[in-house]
Structure 1
């Protein structure tokens, strides 16, 4: 969830090629071994003697509010699967991520339409961006045994009764992010007496606010207000939340907005004398904030919470990400998101192949007990039961114009010390 006013993602050069390749249909080919799989090579195959596995992508790549994030997410995924193909592919098949990539512009209706268009031809969804969008097609996915990688951190994706056991989520949720972040804040800055949350209502801001409220209840901290807001494109400015923060003067504010709104809130309240600190959810930051008047206030009073290592992280996975760019920088951390989100689907394809059931139902069955290695970018994960709160980790960063992509890591592998009720989705969108 990045404001497109602050960063302008580069155009995806493969989109034209994607449109040109839509005639390929693995499910109808007489050499197909199942929906989304053919014994014939992929278009532009790295390994021409391999067959092809077609994966679908439904994302905001152009024209929607999160295209500036969706674009680098997609680029990171393309690079991830390119590396897989260069390493020989999976079970004698290359992976094709381009033929059935569709731009949804973050529209629920368009997401559903494009899903219906590509569903007969794919083995799985490598990306389904947006919680409401994914929820809109989940019954169809359930009927067709389509598993998906989500572009979301909604807490409901941790639980089978809300995601039908079809979603390959990675990292924490917005709800648990608040708990981990506030525990780190208390350790670093002392336990607060009061807090306020500011966010977009729904699967993002309400999820984060619920986690903060549950944390506060367990730690005898007063929640002075849960402030709902919206993007400036809808409400013009953040004057309402700003005035409430200044009036209430909480020790800490938990932000779950887009970057433009976060920058306005932090810069204006600090300039007008607010003395507390801000904890920002992962979508509240992008490098464009370094070029705004908010940077001094952000550097002094703001910490960013992230579900896995940032650009300055040291691990085999981050080395591979940096190597994939040949010394260049991505537009933003979305490139890292796309790469990291892809690990679980790769491991699932390999497990299903090893069990001699590389099919939609085979993938679905293989999720239970699936072991995923993220090459050190975040802890390894075993799918099946919902993750325990104490096993979820965060990375805490601070804005820093002197480091690449603008955030410097100050703490890694941060875990919650507060226990909350986390047996179901924190909110239902």
Structure 2
């Protein structure tokens, strides 16, 4: 037994002396932080900070947005490395990329695979998928950037949200409709879970605040599942539909409702649109009936951040897509938190979370204002929204018709708990 134990001990020493390839602490004392350079490092003398990515990359309803989101984040951090890195470290967001297929179960599985190998998560896509692991993230102090806008994130210290949450975006959409098309009735048509539920809660609050009739229709993802929602729209003829679904479902709902005589106004929350819809059979209906709300200005906008994004992506990306814009914008707060943690000489999970909680503003290079993670949800929430309309001539096939604004409903809303729970 003693001889066996001695052999085992020697084996452990031999393994620990070998070069690391697992993104472990590498002698730094923090998961995902190594003294060794990143694979394909820009700065060979820097150590490496590994960040994970969990996105909808193959079969889920948001893959057309998720793939460019992931590419933009890769290029964002490449730019950071080209500028010297952060605190003597390059950032790697390519080694631990996983596909969640927009499934909470798959998301949980791949999160568990990588969580011990990364310092933080550069992208966790989806509200219901991220909600499936938020308890573990909180327990283990895993800071993450969400690719979603549920108002739940305004109450989570480990989440670095950017832009107005779905409910505030929907409040602004209703207020804009009141200003322009003057609806008397509002219907929320939405996916289940935090994504659709949060947007519907904002639409309901805005409708009731403005003494408009409100109705609610929950619809599951999948083009074949939209019959009930279409029937409700055609039968009840709401003046305004706040739509919160995937892009292909949007085409089915808007196109079929129009074909059956609906003449009201749709306003879709951010993820409902994809530029490919302009070439779909639903394009005439979308051009006639659909507006798009969003948390920030689109790909072609003239700000230093938008220009840096376009320069970093180059010309080989195909058609412009606001998935790129979202991925780029979402990366700024994590960069700010890592920079603060490095300055504090505490690149650990404790140190990174402490840095997050100290941020009162983030430099988005003109793409957005906000980034107050030190205050409460009401003071920290971003409340601005833009509105666009389908347009063949626009690079992302959406032309902005109302630049960043905050409507009176959202301006006065106290975010005391997540909207879908309020």
Match status 1:426 vs 2:416? no
Report if aligned partners of 1:42, 1:52 keep a CA contact under 8 Å in 2.
Answer: yes
Shift of 1:237: 4.9
The equivalent position to 1:414 in structure 2, one of 393, 405, 412, is 405
After TM superposition, the structure 1 = structure 2 runs for residues 188-199 of structure 1, keeping only pairs within 5 Å, are: 188-189=180-181, 191-199=182-190
Cα offsets for 1:105-138 (capped at 9, x unmatched): 2232222222222222211111112223222222
Report if aligned partners of 1:76, 1:336 keep a CA contact under 8 Å in 2.
Answer: yes
Match status 1:293 vs 2:300? no
The equivalent position to 2:66 in structure 1, one of 66, 70, 87, is 70
Which piece of structure 1 moves more, 416-425 or 362-371?
416-425
Match status 1:316 vs 2:308? no
Whichever of the two has the greater Rg, that structure is: 2
SS of 1:304's partner is: strand
Q: What residue is the counterpart of 1:400 in the other structure?
A: 391
- After superposition, the Cα gap between the structure-2 partners of 1:264 and 1:117, relative to the gap in structure 1 and judged at 3 Å, is closer
The equivalent position to 1:131 in structure 2, one of 127, 137, 159, is 127
Cα offsets for 1:7-62 (capped at 9, x unmatched): xxxxxxxxxxxxxxx96234353x43522112221110001111111111122222
Report if aligned partners of 1:58, 1:129 keep a CA contact under 8 Å in 2.
Answer: yes
Gap regions ≥5 residues in structure 2: 1-18
SS of 1:308's partner is: coil
After TM superposition, the structure 1 = structure 2 runs for residues 228-377 of structure 1, keeping only pairs within 5 Å, are: 228-233=218-223, 236-328=224-316, 329-330=318-319, 332-370=321-359, 371-377=361-367
Question: Whole-Å Cα distance in 2 between the matches of residues 208 and 28 of structure 1?
Answer: 40
Question: Whole-Å Cα distance in 1 between the matches of residues 279 and 29 of structure 2?
Answer: 52
SS of 2:51's partner is: strand
Cα offsets for 1:353-387 (capped at 9, x unmatched): 12222211011111123121111111132212214
Match status 1:221 vs 2:215? no
Report if aligned partners of 1:145, 1:364 keep a CA contact under 8 Å in 2.
Answer: yes
Report if aligned partners of 2:371, 2:380 keep a CA contact under 8 Å in 1.
Answer: no
In the superposition, the TM-score normalised over structure 2's length comes to 0.89
- After superposition, the Cα gap between the structure-2 partners of 1:293 and 1:115, relative to the gap in structure 1 and judged at 3 Å, is closer
Shift of 1:181: 1.1
Cα offsets for 1:198-230 (capped at 9, x unmatched): 11121112211111111111111111x211112
Report if aligned partners of 1:258, 1:284 keep a CA contact under 8 Å in 2.
Answer: yes
Gap regions ≥5 residues in structure 1: 1-21
Report if aligned partners of 2:299, 2:324 keep a CA contact under 8 Å in 1.
Answer: no
Higher helix fraction (1 or 2): 2
In the superposition, the TM-score normalised over structure 1's length comes to 0.88
Q: What residue is the counterpart of 2:31 in the other structure?
A: 35
SS of 1:404's partner is: coil
Match status 1:183 vs 2:172? no
Shift of 1:412: 1.5
Shift of 1:324: 1.5
The equivalent position to 2:49 in structure 1, one of 53, 68, 89, is 53
CA RMSD of aligned residues (A): 2.1
SS of 1:368's partner is: helix
Question: Whole-Å Cα distance in 2 between the matches of residues 292 and 81 of structure 1?
Answer: 34
- After superposition, the Cα gap between the structure-2 partners of 1:330 and 1:75, relative to the gap in structure 1 and judged at 3 Å, is farther
Report if aligned partners of 2:164, 2:381 keep a CA contact under 8 Å in 1.
Answer: no
Q: What residue is the counterpart of 1:381 in the other structure?
A: 371
